[in-house]
Amino acid sequence: MRLSRYFLPTLKEAPSDAQIVSHQLMLRAGMIKQEAAGIYAWLPLGLRVLNRIEQIVREEQERAGAVELLMPTLQLADLWRESGRYDAYGPEMLRITDRHERELLYGPTNEEMITDIFRGFVKSYKALPLNLFHIQWKFRDERRPRFGVMRGREFLMKDAYSFDIDEASARRAYNRMFVAYLNTFARMGLKAVPMRADTGPIGGDLSHEFIVLADTGESQVFCDKQLVEMPAPGADVDWNDLQAIVDGRTSLYAATEEMHDAAQFESQTADGDRLTARGIEVGHIFYFGTKYSAPMKAKVAGPDGQDTEVHMGSYGVGVSRLLGAIIEASHDDAGIIWPDAVAPFDVVVINLRANDPGVCEACEAAVEALEAAGKSVLYDDTDERPGGKFATADLIGIPWQLTIGPKGVAEGVVELKRRASGEKSTLPLDQAMERIG
């Protein structure tokens, strides 16, 4: 992509109402523009990162056996009356009346709708276990939206819903999502710790939040240090028996503020291992049994022919919020440092003299070679001065910067910089490409 034909409106300074670094950097890097309180437009660079994060979430859901569908943003109020949540949900629910005076709402979550889909089609235990997920825009009318996409009102969420014949099977479904989440966040370069959590308006008796530690986190968290450095299980696990992996985490103390028990923290955790920190919630999983299937009559015929209410769980990832969490965890004074797996482009090629035909030719050859090797490339072909180009490249955080100027062309070399380490090398293009990998 040529920068001269792209739309990358970077800002010298962030607006003063952006309080946290991820919000400031997303605005400065031309990733988002606020359109109303807590409602953002995703500019091209922001959308590219959002798409990559969404794709990682999707792949790990599918690997864990979940099947994707897509529910609409608007729902009938009557559906929520069946579960009793229409009145219970409070002012965070955006309630809407259409031209025929029918009551709708903008979905803040989808337990009721997926239960309605399930009961409409599934009649036998033979179709179970089933886990259905979608990645769709949600709306929660936060009283004080803030921190950019971290606490927005219109936000992108992945929500999965599992259906099982009994509690034992439902807990296996819960474990699959537990492990899928560990893998998902690890692929994005995040260290996310599962913590016992309050179930809130979703309900149920078993719930974990996945928390990324960051100084700007919205809530206090308490955990055993060992959990932070524990590697993700990876894809090569027995997806039908994950209890040992889950137990390996849940046997160590980790709790959000609402669930914290100081005495237990002290007795369960060795002296040097007690970590008290701020955290950002990036995922939340729930097992809630028949909380929705009972009132909404979602039943299947069991092996004995008897109708049984299905056991359910739900599993959310804050897809748009993850951009903020990743930036909070990965930036420096010059800007964002994208982990390779979620970067908007793999490489930025910087042309130091855009009016020099030889330099342009060398740049275009480099772009072509990189793209042929499967890399996504942003080509800064503008007539901005070099200092400005370097500053933009650092700000937007592309993992590799490949710079070409008249001197390099004369000598047959390029300059390669790794954004994360700042390390620079001057070397021929083919060696630079090997380094990029």
User: Which residue lies nearer to its own copies by CB, 249 or 299?
Assistant: 299
User: Which residue lies nearer to its own copies by CB, 6 or 199?
Assistant: 6
If binding is defined by CB under 8 A, does position 374 make contact with its own copies? no
In whole angstroms, the minimum distance from the beta carbon of 240 to its own copies comes to 13
Phi, psi of 343 (to 5 degrees): -60, 145
Pick the stretch among 64-72, 206-214, 241-249, 262-270 that binds its own copies (CB under 8 A). 64-72
If binding is defined by CB under 8 A, does position 68 make contact with its own copies? yes
As a dihedral over the C-alpha atoms of residue 187, residue 418, residue 334, residue 393, rounded to 10 degrees, the angle is -100
Residues in 136-155 at the binding interface with its own copies, rule: CB under 8 A: 137, 139, 141, 143, 154
Residues in 164-193 at the binding interface with its own copies, rule: CB under 8 A: none
Pick the stretch among 75-83, 203-211, 322-330, 340-348 that binds its own copies (CB under 8 A). 75-83
Q: 311, 166 in Cβ contact below 8 A? A: yes
SS3 state at 153: coil
DSSP assignment string, 417-434: EETTT--EEEE-HHHHHH
Structure tokens at 153: 């009102």
Q: Which residues pair with 220 in a beta bridge?
A: 278
If binding is defined by CB under 8 A, does position 53 make contact with its own copies? no
If binding is defined by CB under 8 A, does position 5 make contact with its own copies? yes
Phi, psi of 144 (to 5 degrees): -130, 80
User: Which residue lies nearer to its own copies by CB, 43 or 402?
Assistant: 43
Q: 311, 161 in Cβ contact below 8 A? A: no
If binding is defined by CB under 8 A, does position 301 make contact with its own copies? no
* Site size with its own copies, rule: CB under 8 A: 52
CB atoms within 10 A of CB 332: 12
CB atoms within 10 A of CB 304: 7
Distances in Å between the Cα of 93 and the Cα atoms of 38, 75, 276, 372 are: 14, 11, 33, 48
Which of 72, 84, 303, 428 forms a contact with its own copies (CB under 8 A)?
A: 72
Pick the stretch among 45-53, 236-244, 360-368, 402-410 that binds its own copies (CB under 8 A). 45-53
If binding is defined by CB under 8 A, does position 18 make contact with its own copies? no
If binding is defined by CB under 8 A, does position 50 make contact with its own copies? yes
If binding is defined by CB under 8 A, does position 234 make contact with its own copies? no
Give dist(CA 217, CA 185) in Å, integer.
16
Structure tokens at 7: 């739309």
If binding is defined by CB under 8 A, does position 161 make contact with its own copies? no
Taking Cα atoms as reference points, which of 178, 206, 202, 205 lies closest to residue 192?
178
Give dist(CA 310, CA 56) in Å, integer.
29
Give dist(CA 163, CA 180) in Å, integer.
17
In single-letter form, the type of residue at position 128 comes to L
User: Which residue lies nearer to its own copies by CB, 122 or 237?
Assistant: 122
Half-sphere exposure of 222 (CA within 13 A, CB side): 17
If binding is defined by CB under 8 A, does position 94 make contact with its own copies? yes
In whole angstroms, the minimum distance from the beta carbon of 79 to its own copies comes to 8
Kindly tell me the burial class for residue 393, based on how many C-beta atoms sit within 10 Å of its own C-beta (0-12, 13-18, 19 or more): buried
Pick the stretch among 101-109, 186-194, 251-259, 301-309 that binds its own copies (CB under 8 A). 101-109
Pick the stretch among 15-23, 97-105, 209-217, 357-365 that binds its own copies (CB under 8 A). 97-105
Kindly tell me the burial class for residue 341, based on how many C-beta atoms sit within 10 Å of its own C-beta (0-12, 13-18, 19 or more): middle
Pick the stretch among 65-73, 184-192, 231-239, 258-266 that binds its own copies (CB under 8 A). 65-73
If binding is defined by CB under 8 A, does position 239 make contact with its own copies? no
In whole angstroms, the minimum distance from the beta carbon of 76 to its own copies comes to 5
In whole angstroms, the minimum distance from the beta carbon of 399 to its own copies comes to 21
Pick the stretch among 112-120, 186-194, 279-287, 305-313 that binds its own copies (CB under 8 A). 112-120
If binding is defined by CB under 8 A, does position 237 make contact with its own copies? no
If binding is defined by CB under 8 A, does position 130 make contact with its own copies? yes
Pick the stretch among 86-94, 201-209, 269-277, 353-361 that binds its own copies (CB under 8 A). 86-94
Which of 21, 25, 26, 43 forms a contact with its own copies (CB under 8 A)?
A: 43
If binding is defined by CB under 8 A, does position 116 make contact with its own copies? yes
CB atoms within 10 A of CB 33: 13
Q: 346, 401 in Cβ contact below 8 A? A: no
Cα torsion 293, 296, 301, 306: sign: positive
The residues, any chain, with a CB within 8 Å of residue 435's CB and separated by 6 or more, are 416, 425, 427
If binding is defined by CB under 8 A, does position 109 make contact with its own copies? no
Give dist(CA 158, CA 232) in Å, integer.
20
The site for its own copies (CB under 8 A) is made up of 5-7, 9, 30, 33, 35-37, 39-44, 46-47, 50, 65, 67-76, 79, 91-92, 94, 96, 98-99, 102, 104, 106, 113, 116-117, 120-122, 130, 132, 137, 139, 141, 143, 154
